[in-house]
Amino acid sequence: MYPDGEYSHEDNASVIFRPLKFRALEVKNRLFRSNISGMFDEYNGHGGNARLNWEEKFARGGVGCIISSFTPVAVRGRILVRYAMIDNDNKIPFWRAVGERVHAHDCRFIMQLSHSGRQQDFGGVENLYNKGLSSTSKSDYFHGLLSQAMTKPEIAEVIEQFAQGARRAREAGLDGVELHGANGYLITQFLSSGINDRTDEYGGNWEGRARFVLEIVRAIRREVGQDFHLQMKINGVDHNDWLYPWIPKGNTLDETIKICTLLLDGGKGVDAFHVSSGSTFPHPRNPPGDLPMRDLERCYDGMISQGTRTRFNYAIFTNPLGSRLFRHWWRWRRGKVIEGINLDYARAIADAIADIDPSIKVLCTGGFQHADKIAGAIRSGACDAVSMARPLIANNDLPKILARENGPEPRRECTYCNKCLINDLENPLGCYEPSRFDGDSFEERHQRMIAEVMSVFEPPAFH
């Protein structure tokens, strides 16, 4: 350590590339690929070749562990079509192939078990006449997506779907599972005081609202035992009022800490927490960054038939003044911090959990792409590792860069423009910021950008 308090790059790299040991899993470094993927698979939820290539390129780039994209445990729980699911045993062989491709690069693979609830952008023809299952019958406040409060038999059925998804992940040879309890999806809809309006044992105070996910955790442990890694992605704070200040804010940090403590379940529950924030997706704080209005105008039209507010939203996004005001509002509600935006939440959770069970680890997501920021977060005790998505889309080999330098050269950095996010509504997922690519003209940079986006569709070699 230098006298001015700064650490050398070698010091930072030694922190980042130190192995991380959970109770039932060891990862070679502190860099996790966060849950993100595109519509790379078959319409019926069977996996495709593009996803194999997609996951492998991050493993090849040097991350210690990949957290899969949103993986529905049932077709009723989709967010988008053409996302590989884990709703049936016939999906096991594909996920086994994914694991083998990733493991070949000494990288671990954790499946994110997920259910959309009411937050279903494109449910596909199978859900054409279904309202989203939820804790509430109120539609979501952003798109106006319709929902129905789940009955107790429906709750029991979904709990079992999560448990069987975990069993299938284990049978596929994967390294663990993550429950998606953040960012507005079904588990959030039960956890959040700003969404859950039930009056039975699955609603009310924080303990009642957490009953649903606690029963999921116990059902998973029943199926996979204690020696299979299980982690939980959770909002530090919901920020449910980002769009309309009069909407209930949702869970506070204190409530989240109590929920995390409950999910330890006396040493038989979760092994780690993955800290995020934001009770919708997208949300100004998740993923934190800009809102590309021209891309949103081009891609949001597919959402018009999905919710009761989507036509109104589209009118705002396509209006020059309306779109400008909405973008300013988005950036103001985000705040100034992007890289490490959730660290204060992660630190509070880590401190509270350490007093109960120091073996439990905490991951933090939020725009990380510089070694000093990552190492500083870990060194401070705010988290044990970080997860990244957009910076890895921008630079698939970011871990190798961080081993040599503090981060990518400035013109290669992720700009947090969120064009990748918006384009995924209609186009293959990838980096859509032309300025990051080489070329003497916009046309040349655009061509190189598209070539990179389409690279995951290269066919497998036939012998």
Catalytic residues: 185
Using CA atoms, how far apart are residues 338 and 373, in angstroms rounded to an integer? Answer: 11
Q: Are 61 and 397 in contact (CB under 8 A)?
A: yes
Assess contact for 20 and 63: CB atoms under 8 A: no
> Euclidean distance between the first and final Cα of the chain, in Å?
54
User: Looking at the DSSP assignment, which residues form a beta bridge with residue 365?
Assistant: 387
Q: What are phi and psi of 109, to 5 degrees?
A: -135, 120
**Which residues are paired to 288 by β-bridges?**
285
The Cβ of residue 462 has, within 10 Å, a number of other Cβ atoms equal to 4
Q: Could you tell me which residues come within 8 angstroms of residue 21 by beta carbon, excluding any fewer than 6 positions away?
A: 27
Q: Which residues of 330-368 are buried (b: 16+ CB within 10 A; e: fewer)?
A: beeebeeebbbbbbbbbbbbbebbeeeeeebbbbbbbbb
From CA 281, how far away is CA 148, in angstroms rounded?
19
- Paired with 181 in beta bridges are 234
